[in-house]
Amino acid sequence: MRPVWWKGRTRATLDHMSSMPRNDPRQYDGLADQWWRPGGPFELLHWLAAARAALIPPAARPGAVLVDAGCGGGLLAPYVSKLGYRHVGVDLGLAGLSTASSHGVSPVNGDVTALPLATGVADVVAAGEILEHVTDLPGTVAELCRVLAPGGLLVIDTVNDTALSRLITVTLGERFGVVPSGLHDPALFVTPKRLTAEFLRHGVRLEVRGARPSIGGLFRWLILRRVPTGGRIVPTASTAILYQGFGVRS
């Protein structure tokens, strides 16, 4: 069963993506016109962006900086635009950065393993749906913490490294159009235990909680593909598939 967005130019783009290795960042350039498409392949990422933003307080000072690591098309922007931060988005994909810029994000082309930003520049670092894509987790964590000022807030969400998460995210998710095929390499998924240990090495004690899509919203998106979906991410006791984390740098 092909999802509704599997049509025309997008179909051709995704067919081309099938020849790329899993987790190849070039795949996002081929989907650049889908970032803000209602009911499109990134619908769940909009819900995740809203849930991530709900963990971010208003800026405590004029000129406060929020670094959005792996910002993609800037989906976090509408949810933090009134919080008083300068929203700086870092990403490898130029097409995604161009889209993010059109939504008010200050774009920076760069790799999350070597952020082209000054040490301690960020009052908040948000790293949403990026940690399951990096091939150098220790290096990425070190960089996220390096740019975060002492007392600054870190907010993340990612996919757990479990058999259930691989089944839902890759096997079933790709089959039923929850995510485009090939975007994830399950070998890169990371457990909360490993991630909290990595951040603790750099002075951030990460608190973790499970998260999941609302059942009604997910059903409307998958079956009806209507706009608006009314979908959202809600907290759950289980971290077996998806989890959020937040912590302050000491």
Q: What domains are defined for the chain?
A: 8-248 (3.40.50.150)
Model confidence at 203, pLDDT cuts 50, 70, 90, reads: very high
Of 50, 102, 101, which is closest to residue 80 (Cα–Cα)?
Answer: 50
Q: Which residue has the higher pLDDT, 237 or 29?
A: 237
Q: For position 219, what pLDDT does the model report?
A: 87
Model confidence at 118, pLDDT cuts 50, 70, 90, reads: very high
Q: Which SS3 state, helix, strand or coil, does residue 3 take?
A: coil
Rounded Cα distance, 45 and 65, in Å:
22
Rounded Cα distance, 159 and 88, in Å:
24
Q: For position 12, what pLDDT does the model report?
A: 37
Dump the DSSP string for 168-192: IIIIIHHHTTSS-TTS--GGG---H
Q: Which residue has the higher pLDDT, 166 or 9?
A: 166
* Reduced DSSP (H G I as helix, E B as strand, rest coil) percent helix, strand, coil of the chain, to 5: 35, 20, 45
Q: Mean pLDDT across the stretch 179-198?
A: 95
Q: Please state whether the predicted TM-score (pTM) of the whole model is above 0.75.
A: yes
What confidence tens digit (pLDDT) does each residue in 60-78 have? 999 999 999 999 999 999 9
